[in-house]
């Protein structure tokens, strides 16, 4: 491996991603490991990182390491206190400096972002947001980050003004794997049924619990096919989320960070409600955010 000028790290709960970087912004080497935060104790972080990059670190030189994600959680390498909204997405200037045994490392963990009312937190998504804003610095609107915990983030004047997290993805997994609905679930998709379910959940959210059980009942009584069950369940849950997050997307410029089927489902749901929404690739945003954070560190030298 080529000796890097600095190292970018995204330390998630289940996975570790590392990029060895040049000062010019080129990726020299990219590496992954299954040793996410969920599998490590604090003393194990430095050896885990060195297992991946140790042979690339030159002797007699200190290499900066900029980390985002769960390494900064309370259960991580070292807690990086949250920045409070409203705030700009954190830079390396607000990072937590971690003491290391190996003198070749200078480790900086970026903070997450918190909100007091309603209580909410993010750790990792703020770096994606920073990466997106590096490409669209004049963006004023809302960023939607679909996933296990979907986040809606109001951006104005390059700041995170407010945000709201919804457990939609986790609830979908729980219902489809651990309730009676699991007996009706299958693969495939029905776009028409999905959009109908989105509209129903937005217009009559009070019927949600009854509508969920009807998925099983319609399978038994009317032969509702597994693909339609999946689409309707997804539509009901995303529709309920859209009903609650309406102040974020109604009349706003909405960017959905993602290019997978889930992101496309959110795009379809929003467009069916007349929202101004578009997709933006999420793949490069984390690295772009880490690179932007590193530049702020470099500028102080």
Domain count, the chain: 2
Q: How far, in Å, CA of 231 to CA of 186, rounded?
A: 10
Q: What is the pTM of this model?
A: 0.92
Residue 75: inside a domain:
yes
Number of C-beta neighbours around residue 1 at 10 A: 13
Query: Can you give the CATH number for the domain in which 191 is found?
Result: 3.30.420.310
Q: CA-CA distances (angstroms) from residue 220 to 184, 215, 216, 217, 225?
A: 9, 9, 6, 5, 10
Query: What pairing do the DSSP bridges indicate for beta strands 120-122 and 159-166?
Result: unpaired
218 and 109 co-located in one domain: no
pLDDT tens per residue, range 191-246: 999 999 999 999 998 999 999 999 999 999 999 999 999 999 999 999 999 999 99
Instruction: Indicate the angle between helix axes 285-299 and 125-135, nearest 10 degrees.
Output: 80
pLDDT tens per residue, range 62-103: 999 999 999 999 999 999 999 999 999 988 889 999 999 999
C-alpha 162: how far from chain center? 16
Provide the residue range defining the domain that includes 51: 6-123
**Residue 13, strand partner residues:** none
Query: Can you give the CATH number for the domain in which 81 is found?
Result: 3.30.420.300
192 and 263 co-located in one domain: yes
Q: CA-CA distances (angstroms) from residue 121 to 34, 151, 264?
A: 24, 10, 25
**Residue 143, strand partner residues:** 153, 255
Q: How far, in Å, CA of 82 to CA of 295, rounded?
A: 21
Q: How far, in Å, CA of 248 to CA of 264, rounded?
A: 18
109 and 202 co-located in one domain: no
189 and 248 co-located in one domain: yes
Q: State which of 123, 154, 173 marks the end of a domain.
A: 123
Residue 180: inside a domain:
yes
pLDDT tens per residue, range 253-289: 999 999 899 999 999 999 999 999 999 998 899 999 9
Query: What pairing do the DSSP bridges indicate for beta strands 113-115 and 120-122?
Result: antiparallel
77 and 182 co-located in one domain: no
172 and 276 co-located in one domain: yes
195 and 269 co-located in one domain: yes
């Amino acid at each position: 491996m080529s000796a890097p000028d600095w190292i970018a790290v995204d330390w998630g709960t289940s996975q570790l991603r590392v990029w060895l970087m040049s000062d010019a912004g080129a990726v020299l080497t990219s590496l992954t490991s299954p040793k996410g935060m969920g599998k490590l104790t604090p003393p194990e972080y430095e050896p885990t990182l060195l297992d991946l990059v140790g042979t690339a670190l030159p002797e007699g030189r200190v290499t900066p390491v900029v980390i985002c994600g769960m390494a900064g959680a309370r259960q991580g390498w070292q807690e990086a206190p949250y920045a409070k909204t409203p705030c700009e997405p954190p830079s390396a200037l607000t990072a937590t400096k971690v003491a290391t045994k190996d003198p070749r490392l200078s480790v900086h963990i970026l903070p997450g972002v918190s909100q007091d009312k309603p209580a909410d937190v993010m750790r990792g998504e703020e770096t994606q947001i920073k990466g997106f804003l590096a490409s669209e610095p004049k963006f004023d609107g809302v960023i939607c980050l679909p996933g296990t915990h979907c986040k809606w983030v109001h951006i104005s004047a390059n700041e995170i003004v407010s945000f709201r997290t919804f457990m939609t993805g986790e609830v979908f997994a729980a219902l489809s794997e651990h309730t009676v609905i699991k007996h009706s679930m299958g693969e495939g998709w029905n776009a028409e049924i999905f959009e109908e379910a989105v509209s129903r959940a937005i217009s009559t959210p009070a019927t949600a619990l009854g509508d969920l059980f009807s998925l099983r009942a319609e399978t038994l009584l009317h032969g509702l096919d597994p693909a339609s069950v999946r689409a309707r369940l997804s539509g009901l849950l995303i529709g309920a989320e859209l009903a609650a997050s309406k102040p974020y997307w109604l009349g706003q410029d909405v960017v959905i960070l993602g290019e997978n089927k889930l992101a496309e489902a959110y795009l379809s749901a929003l467009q069916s409600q007349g929202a101004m929404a578009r997709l933006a690739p999420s793949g490069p945003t984390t690295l772009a955010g880490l690179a932007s954070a590193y530049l702020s560190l470099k500028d102080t030298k």
